A and B are shown apart, each in its own frame.
Chain A
Amino acid sequence: MIAIIDYGMGNIHSVNKAFQLYGAETIVTNNAEEIRRSKKIVLPGVGAFDEAMQELKKRSLISVIREELVKGKPFLGICLGMQLLFEHSAEAGQAQGLGILKGRVEQFEDKADLKVPHMGWNRLQINKKDCPLLKDLSDSPYVYFCHSYYPIPVDNDVIAATTNYGKDFVSVVWQNNVYGVQFHPEKSQRVGLRIIENFLALC
């Protein structure tokens, strides 16, 4: 059973459908017990960092997510769900994140030749070929992005792929059982579905 955490931050339905496409048993939930019982956790999300943390807090989900991740349960954070893994975000002052990964979340610099949000199809430059999530992808596949913020990990070792938009930013992170993608696999056609399949194949 895969727990897709529903904390009122959108996008749940497409994520759920993408997993079900491969016959995965999913449960869309905000119940701590169900999350504990699940085999894997997916944290989707679009929207504001601060608001997302408040919604998780309201549902008393912060400690259960932390505990399950520390235990080694496979976890996939998508877009905002990936950003929440970090310690804090420049969005809305200095909102605190889950702090699973060291680092912060920053906004793209607003300059003349760089439109914000970064919206559309862009390439992944995969630098961790052994990352199980990115298995069997071409070297620089196109995926769909839709975001204004991006993570800056402290530890370069967690960077599995980057993407160029004005500069190279981190688009996939990986640390043991914890995976995070800045793009939307559920909206990235075949490439995205392959990533979802890869996540399902994790033990």
Chain B
Amino acid sequence: MLTKRIIPCLDIKEGRVVKGVRFLSLRDAGDPVEVARLYDSEQADELVFLDITASYENRKTLIELVEEIAKNIFLPFTVGGGVTGIDDIRNLLNAGAEKVSINTQAVKYPDLISEASRKFGSQCIVVAIDAKKERDNWQVYINGGRTPAGLDALFWAKKVAELGAGEILLTSMDYDGTKDGFDMSLTKTVTSAVNIPVIASGGAGKLEHFYSILTEGGADAALAASLFHYQEYSVKEVKRYLQERGVRVRL
């Protein structure tokens, strides 16, 4: 049986980890490779590297960094941020990324999803959806959460699955950074509407948050950044907690 995945996310700015300052045990907490190695040793199931300035400043993710990570970490990882087209995706995959995450460009040019999944296979095309609650629905935001896309998140999730996305990285902008738990309502709405894996993101603060989103919420994976960065919990602690409660994890 397939296990549920716990995924630490590393925000990358100019090739350095942002928010990694609390890693006292590391020689260089800003070094993506060192941080990735630590998560690898903690039994993380995958890693996500998000180049947070890329989309906004129209920068391309540093291929060298991806190569350096792939040279050192034998764990699947997804790279996102500033992905503009097929060549970009090919370069990231060739450099060693298992999957590439597209956000803004997927909204602007939905054909990129179908073209990329036809070319490289659905399994390596992740569409990141940043969603924010409006009256009765959720609005999709692009450009790193700066611009409303005029799209309903549920509609968009179904659409990207139809176009051939292999996975959805679903971030609740309302819950992100609050530590109040994942957005149960948003996650449930999306996981029950699509038949591709969904990674829930935004709001992890306690162990039980992981449990509820992976069971009741129907998520296939749960992503957290600061919780792991600031070492409030280790990945292993989260997975042990889940295992004790009957959730299948790799330990």
Q: Is the CB of B221 within 8 A of A46?
A: no
Among A5-13, A58-66, A126-134, the one that faces the other chain is A5-13
Residues of B within 8 A of A80 (CB): 121
Query: How many residues on the A side are at the interface (Cβ–Cβ under 8 A)?
Result: 42
Q: Is the CB of A115 within 8 A of B123?
A: no
Chain A CB within 8 A of B110 CB: no
Query: How many residues on the B side are at the interface (Cβ–Cβ under 8 A)?
Result: 36
Closest partner residue, chain A, to B124 (CB atom)? A46
Q: Which of B5, B99, B123, B195 has the most CB of A within 10 A?
A: B123
Chain A CB within 8 A of B196 CB: yes
Q: Is the CB of A189 within 8 A of B96?
A: no
Residues of A within 8 A of B90 (CB): 8, 10
Q: How far is the CB of A138 from chain B (nearest CB, A)?
A: 12
Binary flags per residue of B158-202, CB closer than 8 Å to A gives 1, else 0: 000000001100000000000000000000000000011100000
Binary flags per residue of A101-128, CB closer than 8 Å to B gives 1, else 0: 0000000001010111111111100000
Q: Is the CB of A117 within 8 A of B166?
A: yes
Chain A CB within 8 A of B71 CB: yes
A186-B123 contact, Cβ under 8 Å, with A112-B195, A123-B1, A164-B1: no
Binary flags per residue of A159-202, CB closer than 8 Å to B gives 1, else 0: 00000110000000000000000001011110011000000000
Contacts A/B (CB < 8 Å), 13 sampled: A13-B67, A46-B120, A46-B121, A48-B120, A51-B118, A51-B119, A117-B166, A117-B167, A148-B122, A165-B2, A187-B76, A189-B40, A189-B74
